[in-house]
C-alpha cells in the first residue's frame, strides 16, 4: 500500500479523557479575529457602495466584469439549452422527492383550551423575504438550490432571492440557473462570498433586502452570516456551519470499499473537510486504508482528498456501544451507520445532523435526491441544532383568547405571580378587568 494516505489510526481504549477530547476536536479556524474584521469591512463597503461595490468586488474576487448583477431572461434561456435531457430529468426527480418530504412537514394550526375559557393557539406564517446562497467555489451546487428553494416555495415566502458566484466569463452556472427556475426562483444574482450575504442582508439598488439568509459557503460566507445576524438591521441566519464532515460507524462485517467511498465523498469538498471512521474492527481499518489509497488515485480531486485525509481519523473501539457514544460526543453533520441491523441502533443516536442507515444508503443520496435536506449543522452544532426543514422558512406565532369567565377563573393566578415578581402594573392590567366584570355582575 502507498504511504500517501495520512489518516491517523487511534486506539480509543488507550486514551485518557483529555486525549479523547483532543481526538474529537475540530481544527481551529485560523486567524478568526482577522477573518471577522476583514468580513465586516466587506459588509460595510457593500452597505456604502451598493451595486457599484458589488461589481467591483466581483471583478476583484471572481475575476468577472459584470454590467448587470441580475440574471437576465436570455441567460435563463441559454442555461436551459446547456443541459441534456438526462440532466434535466435527474434534477426534476430530485426536486420531486425533496418536495414530497418537505410538504409532509406542513402542520395545521394548534389549538388547546388550557383552562376553561382560556384558548391557546399556534399559527404559522411564512417569512416575508428570504435570501438563498448557492456556492460555486470548488464546484457549482445546483443541489443546494433544491434544498433551499423547495421549502421556501412550499412555505410560500413572498420574496425569494438567490445569489451565486459568477464564472470568469460573467455567466452563472447553467445547472444552478435551471434548478432555480424549476424551483420557482426568478430573482437570481451573480454575486458570491461575503458581499452576497451583505447584499441580501441590507439590500442594494438591485438586490432586495431579506429577513433571513440560508445556505452553506466558505469561511467568508459563514463569517458574514454571523455578523449580519448579530445586527438588528441585518438578517437572521439559518444555522451555524463550518467545513463539511462525515462519521462512519462500522462493524467487522462492513464493506471496506463502501466505507472508504463514503469518507472520500465528504473529503472531496475541501482540504479542511472532516472524515472519521469509528469501528470495532482493526482488520476493517486496514482494509479501509487500502481502499482509501486505491480509490483516491482514481478520483479527479486527488490533491484535495490527500490534504483532507491528513486530518482524518480511523478510531478503534471495543464495542458498538462505545462507538455510538464516540459519535454522540463528536455530533457529526453526517452519520453513516454501516453495522449489522443498523436500524436497531437508531435509538442510541442523540447527536447528528442527518443519519444514513445500512450499506445501501450512501450519504450522496441525501446530498442530492432522497428527499431530506442537506443543509445541516456542522462543527459539533448538531448537539443543539437541527438540519434545515420547512419550519425554518416560517415563523411560529402564538395566539391566546380568554372569555370573561376564563379571566375570572385564571386571573387571580396571574395577579399572584405578578405581585410575587413585584410587577404591579402587570397585576393591575388583570385586576382592572376583574373589577369591571364584578361591577357588571352587581
| DSSP letter assigned to residue 343 | G
| DSSP letter assigned to residue 370 | S
Give every strand in the sheet of 212-214, ordered side by side: 187-189, 159-163, 129-133, 212-214, 236-237
∠ Cα 415 419 420 (to 5°): 115
Catalytic residue among 269, 333, 363, 374: 333
C-alpha 210 chain-centroid distance = 18
**What average pLDDT does the chain have?**
95
**DSSP characters over 91-119:** HHHHHHHHHHHHHTT--PPEEEEEETTEE
| Grid cell locating 403 | 372569555
Distance CA 210, CA 250 (A): 43
Parse the chain into domains and list their residue ranges: 8-27+243-371, 32-113+124-240, 403-441
Distance CA 133, CA 170 (A): 17
∠ Cα 263 264 267 (to 5°): 95
Block means of pLDDT (10 residues each) for the chain, 442 residues, are 74 97 84 91 98 97 95 97 97 98 96 98 98 85 96 98 96 97 97 97 98 93 96 95 92 98 94 95 97 95 93 97 98 98 98 98 97 95 96 97 98 98 98 95 67
Distance CA 136, CA 217 (A): 9
Give first-to-last CA distance, the chain, whole Å: 95
| Model pLDDT for residues 334-349, shown as the tens digit of each residue | 999 999 999 999 999 9
Please report the pLDDT score of residue 1 as a whole number: 42
| DSSP letter assigned to residue 186 | -
The dihedral over CA atoms of 41, 43, 48, 51, expressed in degrees to the nearest 10, equals 130
Contact 368, 361 (CB under 8 A): no
Phi, psi of 105 (to 5 degrees): -85, -5
**Three-state DSSP class for residue 298:** coil
Distance CA 91, CA 51 (A): 32
Catalytic-residue membership of 334: yes
Distance CA 210, CA 197 (A): 10
- What architecture is the 32-113+124-240 domain classified under in CATH? 3-Layer(aba) Sandwich (3.40)
Distance CA 222, CA 381 (A): 14
Domains 32-113+124-240 and 403-441 share a fold: no
Catalytic residue among 334, 401, 419, 421: 334
| Domain 403-441, classified CATH 1.20.5.1300, yes or no | yes
Catalytic-residue membership of 123: no
| DSSP letter assigned to residue 134 | -
Distance CA 30, CA 42 (A): 19
Distance CA 138, CA 172 (A): 14
Please report the pLDDT score of residue 6 as a whole number: 72
C-alpha 229 chain-centroid distance = 15
Phi, psi of 94 (to 5 degrees): -60, -45
Q: What is the CATH number of domain 8-27+243-371?
A: 3.40.50.1980
Sorted by sequence, the CB contacts under 8 Å of residue 428 that are 6+ apart come out as: none
Distance CA 275, CA 315 (A): 11
Distance CA 335, CA 354 (A): 6
C-alpha pair distances (Å), 119 with each of 56, 123, 334, 403, 429? 55, 13, 41, 9, 19
Strands 394-402 and 118-126: antiparallel
pTM, 2 dp: 0.94
Strands 159-163 and 187-189: parallel
Distance CA 179, CA 6 (A): 38
Distance CA 345, CA 325 (A): 12
Distance CA 317, CA 314 (A): 10
The dihedral over CA atoms of 422, 423, 425, 428, expressed in degrees to the nearest 10, equals -70
Amino acid at each position: 500500500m502507498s504511504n500517501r494516505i495520512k489518516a491517523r489510526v487511534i486506539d480509543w481504549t488507550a486514551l485518557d479523557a483529555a486525549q479523547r477530547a483532543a481526538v474529537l476536536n475540530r481544527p481551529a479556524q485560523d486567524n478568526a479575529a482577522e477573518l471577522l474584521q476583514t468580513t465586516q469591512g466587506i459588509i460595510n463597503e457593500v452597505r456604502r457602495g451598493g451595486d457599484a461595490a458589488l461589481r467591483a468586488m466581483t471583478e476583484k474576487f471572481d475575476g468577472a466584469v459584470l454590467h448587470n448583477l441580475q440574471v437576465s431572461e436570455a441567460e435563463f434561456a441559454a442555461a436551459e439549452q446547456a443541459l441534456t435531457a438526462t440532466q434535466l430529468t435527474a434534477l426534476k426527480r430530485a426536486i420531486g422527492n425533496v418536495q414530497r418530504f418537505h410538504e409532509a412537514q406542513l402542520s395545521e394550526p394548534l389549538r388547546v383550551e388550557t383552562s376553561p375559557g382560556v384558548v391557546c393557539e399556534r399559527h404559522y406564517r411564512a417569512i416575508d423575504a428570504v435570501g438563498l446562497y448557492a456556492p460555486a467555489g470548488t464546484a457549482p451546487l445546483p443541489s443546494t438550490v433544491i434544498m433551499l428553494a423547495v421549502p421556501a416555495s412550499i412555505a410560500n415566502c413572498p420574496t425569494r432571492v438567490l445569489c451565486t458566484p459568477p464564472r470568469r466569463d460573467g455567466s452563472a452556472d447553467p445547472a444552478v440557473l435551471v434548478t432555480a427556475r424549476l424551483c420557482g426562483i426568478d430573482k437570481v444574482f451573480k454575486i458570491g462570498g461575503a458581499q452576497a450575504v451583505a447584499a441580501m442582508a441590507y439590500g442594494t439598488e438591485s438586490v432586495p433586502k431579506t429577513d433571513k439568509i440560508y445556505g452553506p459557503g466558505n469561511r467568508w460566507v459563514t463569517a458574514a452570516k454571523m455578523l449580519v445576524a448579530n445586527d438588528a438591521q441585518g438578517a437572521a441566519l439559518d444555522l451555524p456551519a463550518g467545513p463539511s464532515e462525515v462519521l462512519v460507524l462500522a462493524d467487522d462485517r462492513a464493506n471496506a470499499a463502501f466505507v472508504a467511498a463514503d469518507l472520500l465523498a465528504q473529503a472531496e469538498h475541501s482540504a479542511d473537510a472532516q472524515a472519521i471512521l469509528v469501528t470495532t474492527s482493526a482488520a476493517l481499518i486496514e482494509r479501509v486504508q487500502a481502499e482509501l489509497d486505491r480509490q483516491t488515485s482514481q478520483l479527479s480531486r486527488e490533491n484535495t482528498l490527500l490534504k483532507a485525509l491528513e486530518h482524518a481519523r480511523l478510531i478503534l473501539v471495543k464495542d458498538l456501544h462505545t462507538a455510538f457514544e464516540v459519535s454522540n460526543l463528536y455530533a457529526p453533520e453526517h452519520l453513516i451507520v454501516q453495522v449489522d441491523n443498523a436500524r436497531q441502533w437508531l435509538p442510541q443516536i442523540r447527536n447528528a445532523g442527518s443519519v444514513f442507515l445500512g450499506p445501501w444508503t450512501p450519504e450522496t443520496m441525501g446530498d442530492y435526491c432522497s428527499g431530506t435536506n442537506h443543509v445541516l449543522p456542522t462543527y459539533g452544532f448538531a448537539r443543539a441544532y437541527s438540519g434545515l426543514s420547512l419550519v425554518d422558512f416560517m415563523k411560529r406565532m402564538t395566539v391566546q383568547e380568554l372569555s370573561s369567565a376564563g379571566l375570572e377563573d385564571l386571573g387571580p393566578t396571574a395577579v399572584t405571580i405578578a405581585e410575587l415578581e413585584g410587577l404591579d402594573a402587570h397585576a393591575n392590567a388583570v385586576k382592572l378587568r376583574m373589577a369591571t366584570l364584578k361591577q357588571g355582575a352587581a
